[in-house]
Amino acid sequence: MHILLTLLPTFLIKNIGEYKTYFQLIFPVSSLFFLYKSKFIDKKTYVLFFLAVYSVIYSLVNLDISSLVRISQLCLFIILISQIVYYKPLKSIDIFFKASAIYGILFSFVEFILTKNIFYKTVLYSPINIKIPMLSGLIGEPNYTGFFYFGSIIYFIYTKKYRYIPIALVIILSCASRTFLICSVVSILIYFLSFNLKRLLSYLILYSVISYPILVSLLYQFSDTSFHLLATKITNGRFAIHCVYLDMFLKNPLGVGFFNGAKRFAQQRANEANVFPIHDMDLYISNYQQHSLNFQILSEFGIIGYLLFCYFIFSLHKHVSSYSSKLALLLTLFIFPTMQLNVTNEIIVYLMISLILIYLNTKKKDQLFSKHSH
């Protein structure tokens, strides 16, 4: 486990050029071997397995084989959490994040040198249009690379490895990921300027994340078309996309099956009877993913899946908050941008959950030891 975690940054690469590597499957698949040895599943992950079981039943009823394959991948990631919690390779994980920062900056530099036709993205509009090169980064996709290094920044803040934060910020900037650049800067400011309000802020952020689909619904129903177009432009099309997936959920309250949302997107938005009709059809040249963890779970796992998801997030936050308000705030800051990104198959999410569970288990043992010693 220690060796695998040290080498893990090389497993993060999704694509080399136009070719998929599938490197990210190596570590989750290897977790089966460690499960065989440890026979351990962390209790706090049970609800995630319930989510997977519900999806399996739904897929079997609908004879959806592709969804079953995706669910098996999700189960491997859940098993991975327990094995990291069991073996507690904290030193190796620390090495992993440090190595990822170094690998990432080197990878971006090489990509910039070798790429012939680099796309330049405008990151700041009028009165000054600033464009920077949009690199794919270590993960192979700008937004996911940005998310990974945003998660790394959260880790560096908590472990006080501040000297690595500028490196992660440069990597995010090289991917022209405005979302995660803003999230990183805002998270740093909120964490260090919140003082004694960390627990309160963590709850406010948590409730805003959970209630995001309700907010989208209210904004659409009680605002005019000009606001819809403005919100769509500001969110780079996400507001309109989320409205389509909200409609998909309303018509399929039990979900459409794991990873089936994008397959039904074109049919859903073309339906004139939609509760949330979208008029700006230029956004939909192809089938779009949800670009939101909330709407991915809501549209694909349905209301039952979303309630299980909410229970897991709330229970995890409750345990974290009882031990550390600082960690609780960092947890919610890490979760916050997932409202704008699909992350069910991103390894960084499961690594972060593992680190939090390790922390909680260690704290619990320390408290028990303290009680017995007195």
The pLDDT of residue 266: 72
The answer to whether 300 and 255 are in contact (CB under 8 A) is yes
The pLDDT of residue 10: 65
The answer to whether 235 and 340 are in contact (CB under 8 A) is yes
81: tokens are 């959490």
Q: CA distances (Å), 44 to each of 8, 136, 155, 163, 173, in order?
A: 24, 34, 21, 33, 35
Q: Is the pTM of this model over 0.85?
A: yes
The answer to whether 9 and 138 are in contact (CB under 8 A) is yes
Residue-wise pLDDT tens digits, 236-284: 788 888 988 998 999 899 999 998 998 888 777 666 455 555 555 454 4
107: tokens are 């990878």
Residue-wise pLDDT tens digits, 272-305: 455 555 555 454 445 578 999 999 999 999 999 9
Indicate the helix (H) or strand (E) that contains 89: none
Q: For 15, which DSSP code?
A: E
Residue-wise pLDDT tens digits, 297-352: 999 999 999 999 999 999 999 989 988 999 999 999 999 999 989 888 888 898 88
